[in-house]
Structure 1
Amino acid sequence: MTKLFDQIGVLGRIWLDDAPTTPGSEEAIRIASDAIRFIQTSGQGSDFEDYVQSIDANAPPLAIARFDTRAEAEAWLKAQKRPPDSARILIGDQYFIVLHSRARGWSHLGPLDSLEYYLAEMANDGPKPSGLSFASKAEAETWLHQHPTPPQQVIIDIAGAPYLAAYHHRIDYRVLYPLPPPTPPSQEA
């Protein structure tokens, strides 16, 4: 939480010393400062720092909840007193987006393809293969579930195919995603 408090000081110095000249920059700095204060005062400082660390670690995109079926997710959404305005959830192992408009009184749950992009990024630019190899997916799942806190992502081999062993830390969910083949380098000069 100290980091967040320090950032308010940095924003204040920018505001006072650097006198931003880009149109709208003063309001952007004020909103950023207000966002940091909101994070602190609403008790979400640790969650925010976890989020920043997961971005730095190139962890799987943040999901706030996971459900086995769409019906379970829709029931959860209907039961929310204050549904999230926008958030990612997992249904099975696929990402969905939750959208809610208080003004219009509606909520929506729709598929999201962020997993495809994340897995393509992991296949192309992600961590190097770990050298861990398993004969079957069941064997790899046993390995993944034996860790109290597994790595957020590690590339493993299952029966000769690359997989991403991923840990969704916020919801304590472990999953094995098959990786797509790497994208060949562009031939454009």
Structure 2
Amino acid sequence: MTRLLDQIEVLGQILLDKVPATPGSEEAIRTAATAIQFIQDTGQSYDFEDYVQSIEAHAPPLAMGRFATREEAEAGMNAWRRPPAVAFVLIADVYHSAMYIPSLGKVRLVPLPVILEHYLADMANDGPKPSGLSFDSKAEAEAWLHQQPTPPQQVVVLIAGAPFLAAYHHRIDYRVLYPLPPPTPPASDVLETPRNDGPDAG
């Protein structure tokens, strides 16, 4: 596990060794050190470590909750004692930005389907290779996924011949199958216009 206090010492050493030339760098480093101290002092070290590991494993973008409907999401999040200022939540598997507006005392939800679209495009282009697992139906694949004692962060499986990403949202303990889009074809080279260096050129 990352030793957060060691990272604070590293940031302090950077300030002692050489004053950063970029305007605002010193304040940014001190803010980063304060943020690390906050994580440590509020007992969120393990949550932070899980978050770092999920990024390194290319897990789905972090979601703080999952709801079946928008109404359920609004009721559930407004009931939280301290709603997050900004966070991602899933509503029927669609990412939403949840923003708490203090002046209204309520959470505003904005759909952001592009979050999942970009993630799945990245997985299709640079994600894990096909695992070799194949299922005749999505129900069969879901049964397999929910039987796994340790959910995979991402595994590419075939369902009726089509590629799906078996993914795990670790923060909300949610396992899901996402259909993968076709990989983006490599950009074709632009053909240069042939040069005419003959005697009639120009």
Question: Is the structural similarity TM-score above 0.5?
Answer: yes
Q: Match of 1:131?
A: 132
User: How far apart are the structure 2 equivalents of 1:106 and 1:63?
Assistant: 19
Structure 1 consecutive aligned stretches of length 4 or more whose deviation exceeds 2 Å = 101-107
User: How far apart are the structure 1 equivalents of 2:185 and 2:148?
Assistant: 34
Q: TM-score scaled by structure 1?
A: 0.95
Q: Match of 1:181?
A: 182
User: How far apart are the structure 1 equivalents of 2:106 and 2:146?
Assistant: 38
Q: Match of 2:85?
A: 85
Shift in Å at residue 128 of structure 1? 0.8
Helix, strand or coil at the partner of 1:99: strand
Question: Which residues of structure 2 form unaligned runs of 5+?
Answer: 191-202
Amino acid in structure 1 at the alignment position of 2:170: H
Amino acid in structure 1 at the alignment position of 2:45: G
Query: Between the two proteins, what is the percent identity of the paired residues?
Result: 68
Question: Which residues of structure 1 form unaligned runs of 5+?
Answer: none
Amino acid in structure 2 at the alignment position of 1:100: Y
Helix, strand or coil at the partner of 2:89: strand
Q: Which structure has the larger Rg? A: 2
Q: Match of 1:99?
A: 99
Shift in Å at residue 102 of structure 1? 2.6
Rate the CA distance shift 1:27–1:188 in 2: closer, same or farther, 3 A: farther
Q: Is the 8 A contact 2:74 2:107 kept in 1?
A: no
CA distances 1:132-176 after superposition (whole Å, capped 9, x unpaired)? 111111110011000122111111111100000001011110000
Shift in Å at residue 107 of structure 1? 2.6
Amino acid in structure 2 at the alignment position of 1:20: P
Q: How much is the aligned-residue C-alpha RMSD, in angstroms?
A: 1.4
Helix, strand or coil at the partner of 1:148: coil
The residue correspondences of 1:98-177 to structure 2 (distance < 5 A) are 98-102=98-102, 105-112=105-112, 113-177=114-178
Q: TM-score scaled by structure 2?
A: 0.89
Rate the CA distance shift 1:56–1:2 in 2: closer, same or farther, 3 A: closer
Shift in Å at residue 59 of structure 1? 0.5
Pairing 1:10–2:28 present: no
Shift in Å at residue 81 of structure 1? 2.5
Shift in Å at residue 106 of structure 1? 4.7
Alignment: residue pair count = 189
